[in-house]
Structure 1
Amino acid sequence: MLDFQRHIDMQAGMKNHNCDICGKVFTRKGSINLHIMRIHAGVKNYNCDVCGKAFTVKGDLMRHMKIHAGVKNHNCDVCGKAFTRQGNLMRHMNIHAGVKNHFCDVCGKAFTLKGDLKLHMDIHAGVKNHICDVCGKAFARKTDLVFHLEIHAGVNNHDCDVCGKAFTRKQDLMRHVDIHAGRKSHLCDVCGIAFTQKGSLKLHMDIHAGGKSHLCDVCGIAFTQKGSLKLHMDIHAGVKNHKCHVCGKAFTRKSDLMRHVDIHAGVKNHFCDVCGIAFTQEDGLKHHMDIHAGVKNHTCDVCGKAFTRKRDLMCHVNIHAGVKKYFCDVCGKAFTQKSNLKRHMYACWHQKS
């Protein structure tokens, strides 16, 4: 009769037995004893013969042994993945359902599994226990270390279908594909400029913030990006790895070489809005616009005459110095300025004829 009453209480969900230590309520008195042994007393009399792990309840040991035996009777109906314990299957099902009940107290990010939240918290704590044996770089997550090691191994299994470029990580490939697709989903809140990659937006925001924290030790110029400082240092070091295949002239930056090549190709894409004259380089147009604006920043130290272009000043200084570099091929007369030689050549040729 007593067993029947306990059965009725269980069916009714009645919990009349309280734990004196923590106050947790149970339906059966026997459950309290197991609870005290497992949680409060830490008694674990059932040991695994394979790995030595100890358990309080024999049933827990039996379920654990299935792991070593490779028994996985609980299958996911969605993806077919099998699990040893039903509890693991239930947690796995939350992934497919999109259930994320574990929240980060620092940034609010939600996770499906408690273990994922724990690993995430290591990031905030700055814990990096997974170290690369090759370069010494440390990572918070083991998966990040595994992906990193593929870089050293030269593993590039993710190929772009458009240009064929290969990547170590799938996420890097996905960001690269956005470039071909022209997808610019990262917008600047300040000026509205859109970027394909989040990293590009982050670097762009440094411009608005005036974040030029990378200083040149030689001349003191500051840069927003570390890469820009590195390229700048090549100027001081005299490094010129970019050579023109036409004339052999070398440049520190590739962009400077590309602009130089336009000169040989006769490409003039920079037009003056005032007179329509075209220039190969943007700097050439900028200096030309100073003529229309009447800007004369180059002044002669001898007579005070001002010039728009530095080269015009240099030619003018030759007059004071008495330097005559331009010679007439007909009579040998020398001139300080090329324009004077041209006028002389016209008269000289006419006299000869």
Structure 2
Amino acid sequence: MDELREHTESHTLKELEDKIISQQNKMVKVEISQLFCKLCKKQLNNLEELRNHLKNHDIQFNLVDDLLMPFKINRDLRCQLCNEPFDSFYRLNIHMHRHYKKHICPICGTTFSNSVLLTLHKNRSHRIWRCVLCDVTFPSNAEKKCHDVSMHQKQIVKKLRFPCRYCQERFSQENNRIQHLVDAHGLPKPEHKCQICSKVFITRSLRNNHVKNVHQKEKNIECDICHRLFYAKSDVTRHKVTHTKEKKVACELCDTLFATKDSLRKHVRRIHTNVPIK
């Protein structure tokens, strides 16, 4: 970190200005744990103090806002604007963007620190789905799928990305394929043991998710709509249904659409009895 600070001293304010312009007005992260005036070497605590101090040197700022996002990188990670503590820089970085709500989604009102994040949000959350056969548009993929099934008799095909290497069976999840190999083909059951509680899992990914969710309590996957943090991408996917009301998981037997795979499994157990769930 000391080497980085020494390196930054070689850059001029003009270079910083050019950097901001080149990034198309994105926020620029600045490390201010050793902030001082280059004219008189006075130590300062934050950017606001620096701005006020520079007035003593007849340096005025015409703009009320700038594009500098302040950080102090040390053992005690805290937001430099509200003093909230964090256990990782990743979570602190996500939090900081909430203080710079300059770009507002005109559809749902969610705010973002720059136009790039706003555009990404609109493309992900407010995409318009169009039927190529009759040119009708829909606000969600779920409504388009319902239209495809009812109007064009289209079959919703579930993606089975995990084939069995011994037979023609295919599965939507890796752990289901491994369980099939154990049950149907007699392969030894893999054992991925948690080093903390000795619980055993059939795949490494299930073991890793268990460690994060149960022991580490790491919530570092963010919902791009409300910015709530979750343990895993699958948790975010299930959560986002509360925003989009989207039902995109189709039953292969009756084409009914559901919001989550859990809802589909409950439906199959209740309606389509004696049908194996893949």
Task: Give TM-score scaled by structure 2 length.
Answer: 0.31
Task: Give TM-score scaled by structure 1 length.
Answer: 0.25
Larger Rg: 1
Higher helix share: 1
